[in-house]
Chains A and B, each alone.
Chain A
Amino acid sequence: MTSAEDTAQHASKGTIRVLQLYPRAMNIYGDWGNSLVLRQRLLWHGYTPELLEYNVGDDFPEDVDIIVGGGGQDSGQIVIKDDLQARGDQLRGMAEDGTPMLVICGLYQLFGKFFKTKAGPVIPGIGILDVETVGTDERLIGNVTLTSPEFGEILGYENHSGQTSLGPGVEPLGTVSKGAGNNSKDGHEGARHGNVVASYLHGSLLPKNPAIADFLIRTAVERKYGTFVPGTPDDGFARLAREHAARRPR
């Protein structure tokens, strides 16, 4: 080990293991950005990130601190559906235990109770979230702005034909001021339950919404080490990117 690595090891306030669910089948449009943001912000906060992958048929890694899952095409959801069911108990246990999780689009749908596809077949979800999704002919596409009580203004981009309705077991992530969100009528976007954050938003979500990234990091660190001592990431460009994104048409 060189001395620089040595110093880095000593400087670290701890190690956080981030697991990406099904990055091969579920990575549509920039989901990697969320993992990258968690990795870099952990470093900027003074922690050592470990990025792990779980794909269909893999052994499930031990001691996972944060879970991120992305969107996929309908075909990607078919590829993972049996494997996801087989991991259902484990993931539900981790969610109930308080593991912070971020699921976007396709995995948001499958973290719910079911996704009834437009073609007819019903893909069962793993029921971590009290939500149901029905495929439609209407595709909800465009820039989205919403307001969340926890995270303030959230910006992103949606592109989905599944419409999701929320049950009493979850809260929406926020109220939509531009765009559609979960469905074309309710005016809310995403879902919150325990430490699980679910959303349709790409963009990617975390780069322009560092408050959500830091929520996942803080929660993971507090669960593992008791207290979170934040660093001082420079969010100047995130602020400017948000300002310009907010002015763009739907």
Chain B
Amino acid sequence: MFSFTVPLGKLVRAVSRLRGGGSALPGLVVEKIDPGFMQRTLSSLPHGVAVVSGTNGKTTTTKMVVELLESQGLKVFTNRTGSNFTRGVAAALLGEVDWRGKLDADVAVLELDEAHAVHFVNKVPPRYCLLLNVLRDQLDRFGEIDTTALLLQRIAERTTGTVVLNREDPRVARISATITGREVLYFGLDESLRSTFPNDDDMRTATPGTGAQGNVPAAETADVVLRRVGADEAEFEFDGERVTTHMKLRGVYNIFNAAAALVLARSITGTSGKPGDAAKLVKALSEVAPAFGRGESLVVDGQPLELVLVKNPSGFRLGLKSFPAKGYASMIAINDNYADGRDMSWLWDVEFESLREDGVDVLTGVRAYDMALRLQYDEVRFGSVNTDIPAALAEFIRGSAGKPKRVFCTYTAMLAIRRELSKITTVEVVS
């Protein structure tokens, strides 16, 4: 079986790539013919497996953890394509193992969406998990936020070593009460920054922390605390020291997740308390560039064009807050395909007043008119509305010559926009 699975899987992978297919099919084939493949391959890694899950920030956080570990000289296996489900992991493994099925890596860091993470940890218990947040997102898939929180709890229960939790999200922090016999570490925020990150219960309350579920009792000590965020720098506190560093990443939410990545990387490498290693980690952190579509900046007509992925109300709110409209031409692209979520209700949980002054140039996507209606009720001016993404994008670029541009887009709209942009500018290919 061992010698048979890998060559066959690799063959399917090669063929499906030739046909321009996705990453899931070879994974599916391997799962069918050799269900133990993934578990067997990953269990041989000296530092084991780390799973990153939660509603927002998985891709960027995983990228940060990988780059931090690499700065410490570790060889890291990860599922970089963002196909964050079990078959995607199996497919990515196939690309990396040698013909005998051996994976040349020290540790695996895997981004998994909540439901698929449970499926995965049932097969492969991870040594580490990092749980970011639970926010309303794709309730058409998950049902309720509390159900999503239970999925994360299950991941923590299956973790054998260290569980890293967001101290500021009550639904995540509470998971600590349900697990015993594992190390629990937190990443946290300075008091002054908490209002920037309302949790889901604060969606409709003026004062964060006073929502339906109330606050978590007395703050636990966090391993890493984000103290301050400046224009292009951030201050973190760990091991009793405050460290200020330049950051390439944009957006306060990305920078909070940098604190999360630091906790996990420090735990995996056992470098907490060692100043020399801390300096190396912080340097690596300062150099992490955004993941594709997550504040990614391309160049079009000599001007920057930023892609900001928005897929749920908290992400859209934070996106608007992190990327101010002033001086930018902007476009919003809203699709409602399965991967985006079919329910448009989430647009009504986002406030768009911050766009009032500059307006929005172009609205596009399958649900462009839902977006138009939403902006009408928030009294935000907009230019043209066109459900056809390529045509709308061309018009947007034509109409905003000489200005920096920004596109807020849902997941499948982002894929379509990147595809179009790759015809006229350099777009990093993510394989």
In the complex, whether A215 has a CB less than 8 A from a CB of chain B is no
Question: Mostly helix, strand, loop or mixed at chain A's interface?
Answer: mixed
Contact segment of A73-81, A92-100, A166-174: A73-81
Question: Of B205, B348, B370, which is within 8 A of A244 by CB?
Answer: B370
Known: A24-B211, A142-B342, A159-B343. A74 touches B144 (CB 8 A): yes
> Which residues on the B side are within 8 Å of A76 (C-beta)?
212
Chain A residues with Cβ below 8 Å from B387 are: 244
In the complex formed, the residue of B with least CB distance to A201 is: B345
Decide: A29 near B346, CB < 8 A? Known: A24-B204, A24-B212, A79-B212. yes
The answer to whether A204 touches B348, judged by C-beta atoms less than 8 angstroms apart, is yes
Q: How many A-B residue contacts, CB cutoff 8 Å?
A: 107
Which of A5-13, A32-40, A183-191 lies on the face that meets chain B? A32-40
Contacts of A73 in B (CB 8 A): 144-146
Whether A237 lies near B372 (C-beta < 8 A) is: yes
A56–B100 Cα distance when bound, in Å, is: 63
Question: From residue A41, how far is it (CB to closest CB) to chain B in Å?
Answer: 9
A23, chain B: closest CB distance, angstroms:
5
Q: Are A241 and B369 in contact (CB under 8 A)?
A: yes
Complex contact B342–A248 (CB within 8 A)? yes
With contacts A27-B203, A73-B146 taken as known, whether A237 is within 8 angstroms of B376 at the C-beta atoms is yes
Question: Number of residues in B with C-beta < 8 Å to the partner?
Answer: 37
CB pair A159–B143 under 8 Å, yes or no, is yes
Does A117 sit within 8 A of B, measured CB to CB? no
A30 interface residue per 8 A CB criterion: yes
Task: Kindly report which residue of chain B lies nearest to residue A20, judged by CB atoms.
Answer: B204
Tell whether, in the assembled complex, residue B349 and residue A30 are in contact, meaning their CB atoms are under 8 Å apart.
yes
A: residues with CB less than 8 A from B are 23-25, 27-33, 36-37, 40, 73-76, 79, 139, 141-143, 157, 159, 161, 202-204, 207-208, 234, 237-238, 240-241, 243-245, 248-249
In whole angstroms, what is the CA distance A117 to B78 when docked? 42
Taking CB atoms and an 8 Å cut-off, the chain B residues in 127-148 that contact chain A are 136, 139-140, 143-146
Give CA–CA (A161, B387) in the complex, Å.
33
- Is A29 a contact of B136 with CB atoms below 8 Å? yes
User: Which B residues have a C-beta under 8 Å from some C-beta of A?
Assistant: 136, 139-140, 143-146, 201, 203-205, 210-213, 336, 342-349, 366-370, 372-374, 376-378, 385, 387
Closest to A208 in B: B373
For B210, the chain A residues whose CB sits under 8 A away are 24
Among B139, B140, B373, point to the contact of A237 (Cβ < 8 A).
B373
Q: Are A30 and B370 interface neighbours, CB within 8 A?
A: no
Report B9 CB to chain A, min CB distance, Å. Answer: 33
14 residue pairs from A and B, CB less than 8 Å apart: A30-B347, A30-B348, A30-B349, A76-B212, A139-B143, A157-B140, A157-B344, A202-B345, A234-B376, A237-B373, A238-B373, A244-B368, A245-B344, A245-B367
A75 touches B146 (CB 8 A): yes
B199 to chain A, nearest CB (A): 13
Known: A36-B348, A143-B342, A237-B373. A24 touches B205 (CB 8 A): yes
Cβ of A207 and Cβ of B143 under 8 Å apart? no
Least Cβ distance of B386 to chain A in Å?
A: 12
Most A Cβ at <10 Å: residue of B210, B342, B344, B366:
B344
A33 pairs with B140, CB closer than 8 A = no
Residue among B143, B345, B374, B376 having the largest count of chain A Cβ atoms under 10 Å? B345
Contact A27 B204 (CB under 8 A): yes
Contact among B213, B348, B368 with A32 in the assembled complex (CB-CB below 8 Å)? B348
Q: Would B374 and A207 count as touching, CB distance under 8 A? A: yes
Tell whether, in the assembled complex, residue B369 and residue A240 are in contact, meaning their CB atoms are under 8 Å apart: yes
A202 to B143, CA, bound (A): 13
Q: Is the CB of A161 within 8 A of B143?
A: yes
Q: In whole angstroms, what is the CA distance A85 to B140 when docked?
A: 30
C-alpha spacing A75/B372, complex, angstroms: 33
Partner of B372, one of A28, A141, A241, A249: A241
Residues of B within 8 A of A25 (CB): 212
CB–CB B366/A157 < 8 A: no
Assuming A28-B144, A32-B349, A159-B139, what are 14 further A-B pairs, CB within 8 angstroms? A24-B210, A25-B212, A28-B139, A29-B136, A29-B346, A75-B213, A79-B212, A141-B140, A141-B143, A157-B140, A157-B345, A207-B377, A237-B369, A244-B369
A-side contacts of B347, CB under 8 Å: 30
B314 to chain A, nearest CB (A): 13
Contacts of B139 in A (CB 8 A): 28-29, 159
In the bound assembly, the distance between CA atoms of A161 and B210 in angstroms comes to: 28
A40 — which chain B residues lie within 8 A by C-beta?
Answer: 377
Q: How far is the CB of B35 from chain A (nearest CB, A)?
A: 27
Question: Closest 10 interchain pairs by CB?
Answer: A33-B348, A30-B345, A30-B348, A29-B345, A241-B369, A240-B369, A202-B345, A25-B212, A157-B343, A27-B204
Within the complex, the shortest CB–CB distance from B203 to chain A, in Å, comes to: 6
B366 near A248 (CB under 8 angstroms)? yes
Contact residues in A for B213 (Cβ distance below 8 Å): 75
Question: How long is the Cα–Cα vector from A3 to B367 in the complex, in angstroms?
Answer: 40
- Closest B-chain residue to A248, C-beta based? B336
Q: Which of B212, B336, B343, B377 contacts A29 (CB 8 A)?
A: B343
The CA-CA distance from A142 to B140 in the complex, in Å, is 7
Closest to A73 in B: B144
B145 near A159 with CB under 8 A, answer no
